[in-house]
Amino acid sequence: MENILAHAQKVAEDAEVFVVTAEETEVHFEANRLKQLQSRQQTSVALRIIKGGRLGYATTTSLDRVNEIVDDAVETARFGMTARFRLPAPSSYPEVAIVDTSVASVPTETMIGLGEEMIGPVTTHTPGIICEADISKGTISVRILNSRGGQAGYQKSFFSLGIEGNLTQDTDMLFVGEMESSCHPVTDTRPVTDAVLQQLELAKHRASVPGKSLPVVFTPNGVASAILAPLMAAFNGRTVLQGASPIGDKLGRPVFDTKLSLWDDPTVAYRPGSRPCDDEGTPSQRTPLVERGTVAHFLYDLQTAALAGTSSTGNGSRGHGGLPAPAPTAFTIAPGSTTFAEMIQDMKEGLVIEQLMGASQSNVLGGEFSGNVLLGFKVENGTIVGRVKDTMVSGNIYQMMKQIAGLSREVKWVGGFLQTPYLYFPGVAVASKT
Amino acid sequence: MTSIEYASGELAELLKKADVDYMEARLEESQSSHITYRGQELESIGRTTAVGGNVRALVKGGWGFFSFNSFEELADKVDRAIKQARLVGSQKSRLAPVNATVDSVPWEGARNPVTIPLAEKKQLLDEYNEIIGRTAGIQTSTIGYTDSHKKTVFLSSAGSFIEQERADVALRLAAIAARDGEVQQVGLSLGSLGDFNAIQHLHGQVAEMARRSVVLLSAPQVAGGEYTVVLDPVLAGVFVHEAFGHLSESDFVYENAQLRNIMTLGKQFGGAHLNIVDSAAMPRLRGSYRYDDEGVPATKTYLIREGKLVGRLHSRETAARMKEPPTGNARAVSYRHPPIVRMSNTYIEPGDVSFEDMIADIKEGIYAKNWYGGTTSMEMFTFSAGEAYMIRNGKIAETLRPVVLTGNVFTTLQNIDAIGNDLEMNQGGGCGKGAQSPLPVANGSPHIRIRHCLIGGK
């Protein structure tokens, strides 16, 4: 790593080397049976240089390819964006607990046992259901070095387990599922299986909804499948800088219901999205995005922040092997004062959305979503009466979030990147097959 | 000799000695470049080289898989995969037989896209971006270009040794219009099996795309409900991929007794005019290849013929378990993943209805064009159109905001009542399944008409 940096410094004004090594083991169950064990050892090396004031960038899979990666970065720097930022000088980082050394020593046999523990109750509850289950664990090590003396690094452990079930009856297919992740070993399978069993119970009966505007509750999984993508795009500093975020010019203005508060927080202990610094070596921080309905801030990396005349929020992420770009680490929607049960009781006729399929294939930038209810339930007179099908739910989050009927006190982590309560909206467009 | 050639020699010896039912290794060496723009500014330009490999062992029906970047201590890696497979296996291993093959398939293109000077690629993208930028009403744009060239060596304990090269080019452009807090966008996606020419000379299409995104700002949103819908070849291609192609992937079917019952060969799924094919053996498309990632030769597979289910897509394992011939559809996005059952080039064969006849007797319907996205849960699918128009009294009428279509595969295939004569293959999409995305595929269809299609809306 030092070698690549030294070489790069000879040909460029500034340079930064970013190295991730990861080791992962995954136990995979297919059709209710243990099917495959999979391990990965992975190294990726990224070099970013500033040469002639411009950014050059190259990546490879081995620290030994010193000349190649430097040459590639130099070639791209002829065309790269003008660098408006300075690489971080030595800095201090917050303490973020993200390593549990006991993850590494969880035996494969124990992971296999967790899979059996998930599949057992589900197949007993619903004979004929076909389950896939995955249990994975691993460690990630990140190191960043730059020519201004900045250096950062951390290790992280992660563990996750999840189950998906498919029940096919004639041509009807029901999909249920739940997962949980942590930097600690996840050894209690009950929260996951309880959630799946509840979905199966609620789906036992069928119900139909009329095509009109109806009150709708999005469960935490439902929020992730429908509402998250437009929010993530809207608060991305780069979308804002481009003028493509509908709330980009609304800083300090009330845009949402005053019940809504939202922030990004990579410092929560033992969450898989947490980290002491971002992928550029900027210290992590909690960034408020919406405070009681008012737009508070956007998410930035170094370059975007410099272009926008602000500071990085520590959200520089190298998602797809490219240069760092702003991305959330863990979106958190503040809890409200009601409960999921009270929301249901409040509805005369309405819907509960657990999974909306294809919702983010719409005009996400404009805040729109439209999807097929993959898993959702009809509510009649305060009671869930059954599962709905052949139903589409569409909306615009900017219109919907102006008036939120309620947020629950219960909050849940979804997929390690979102913490949210149940969200209740008074009227959402529903179309159904007649 | 390159590092993968050295390593493949060593692995060939190790596989021969392995005490397993079956074992294979896949080594890869790739180069790629990317250029992205946001608005008028180039956002990221970079080059990537990667070297990696994996070994996969089968013992008593259980698989062990190990992937790596370092080619040191290969014997340990082979051991680890074998140990994993032993821990899993408890049944009988079953794989459809294939001949051991020694072959070398070089890339046949004229110019490796990765070695084309970055200046030339940037020049082209600059031209497109300028066209978008100077369109009145446009707020901004995004452009993503990637190319890659990959050499793969596949070897198996049965004695196969197959070297293959392939290249890929993908371009996605989007024009974003904004007014009064409203944002609308229109995109264009193209790709090819490494042929850079496929993304050149698009200036007219790019201008049209930009113009349309501005028009959308004042377009009405359709009222949700059931409509008669006509799909253009691009969107119909996405439809056949999402709605039926994924259901034809046997890994979802072979252990599911209920589904096997529904998917019995010979069952009627659509009208006698409906023929659906998957063929990696078609020349020079993004989903084309000579051998799949299990070393099985590519085939042309009829999935539906004259409305009847006649075939499905297989890996060696699913073929053996369903007692059907292997089709060469086991693919992996990279050495980091084991191969799983995937589509290649999937299309509806052309019929004989002209576009004019197709819309002539529609009183009120929707003409949906262009791809924006699509997904499936097997039974239910959704896909979204980049462009949509009302059809009124047999004529194309006003522009609509983009629409999302949804349906149940079993009824929707029956509801296709007209198939056009104008087959086109689209190569702009990438397919995602499990953690493996995007896999290069091509989809195609002529214009088709579907009755009673559910559309989301206000």
Question: For testing the chain A interface, which of B45, B132, B182, B415 should be mutated: the one with the most A CBs within 10 Å?
Answer: B45
User: Is 0.95 topped by the overall pTM?
Assistant: no
Backbone angles phi, psi at B11, to 5 degrees: -65, -35
- In CATH, B3-216 is 3.30.2290.10: yes
- Among A420, A87, A137, CA closest to A277: A87
Topology adopted by domain A2-200: PmbA/TldD fold (3.30.2290)
Which 8-state DSSP code applies to residue A256? S
User: Taking the CB of residue A35, how many other CB atoms lie within 10 A of it?
Assistant: 20
Tokens of B15: 């596989």
Q: Are strands A331-333 and A325-326 parallel, antiparallel or unpaired?
A: unpaired
- Residue indicated by tokens 């004259």: B306
Show me where the domains of chain A are located.
Answer: 2-200, 205-434
- Gap between the Cα atoms of A42 and A136, Å rounded: 15
List the beta bridge partners of residue A139.
A23, A157
Residue type, A299: L
Tokens of A4: 């690549």
Residue type, A212: K
- Among B230, B309, B237, B295, CA closest to B267: B309
Tokens of A1: 């790593």
Question: For testing the chain A interface, which of B74, B454, B455, B458 should be mutated: the one with the most A CBs within 10 Å?
Answer: B454
Sort out which chain B residues have CB atoms less than 8 A from A358's CB and list them. 373-375, 382-384, 404, 406
User: Taking the CB of residue A138, how many other CB atoms lie within 10 A of it?
Assistant: 19
Residue range(s) of every CATH 3.30.2290.10 domain in chain B: 3-216
Which 8-state DSSP code applies to residue B387? E
A358–B178 C-beta distance less than 8 A: no
Q: Are strands B448-455 and B416-419 parallel, antiparallel or unpaired?
A: antiparallel
CB pairs under 8 A between A and B: 249
Residue B1 pLDDT level (bands cut at 50, 70, 90):
low
- The helix or strand, by DSSP H or E, that contains position B413, with its residue range, turns out to be helix B409-414
Q: How far is B80 from chain A (nearest CA, A)?
A: 9
- Among B218, B216, B182, B177, CA closest to A247: B182
Select from A62, A173, A211 the Cβ nearest to the Cβ of B225: A211
Q: How far is A169 from chain B (nearest CA, A)?
A: 7
Q: Show pLDDT as tens, one digit a residue, over chain A (434 residues).
A: 999 999 999 999 999 999 999 999 999 999 999 999 999 999 999 999 999 999 999 999 988 889 999 999 999 999 999 999 999 999 999 999 999 999 999 999 999 999 999 999 999 999 999 999 999 999 999 999 999 999 999 999 999 999 999 999 888 899 999 999 999 999 999 999 999 999 999 999 999 999 899 999 999 999 999 999 999 999 999 999 988 899 999 999 999 999 999 999 999 999 999 999 999 999 999 999 999 999 999 999 999 999 999 999 999 999 767 799 999 999 999 999 999 999 999 999 999 999 998 887 778 888 989 899 999 999 999 999 999 998 999 999 999 999 999 999 999 999 888 999 999 999 999 988 76
Residue B437 pLDDT level (bands cut at 50, 70, 90):
confident
Backbone angles phi, psi at B48, to 5 degrees: -135, 135
Question: Which residue spans within B157-209 are E strands per DSSP?
Answer: 161-179, 182-192
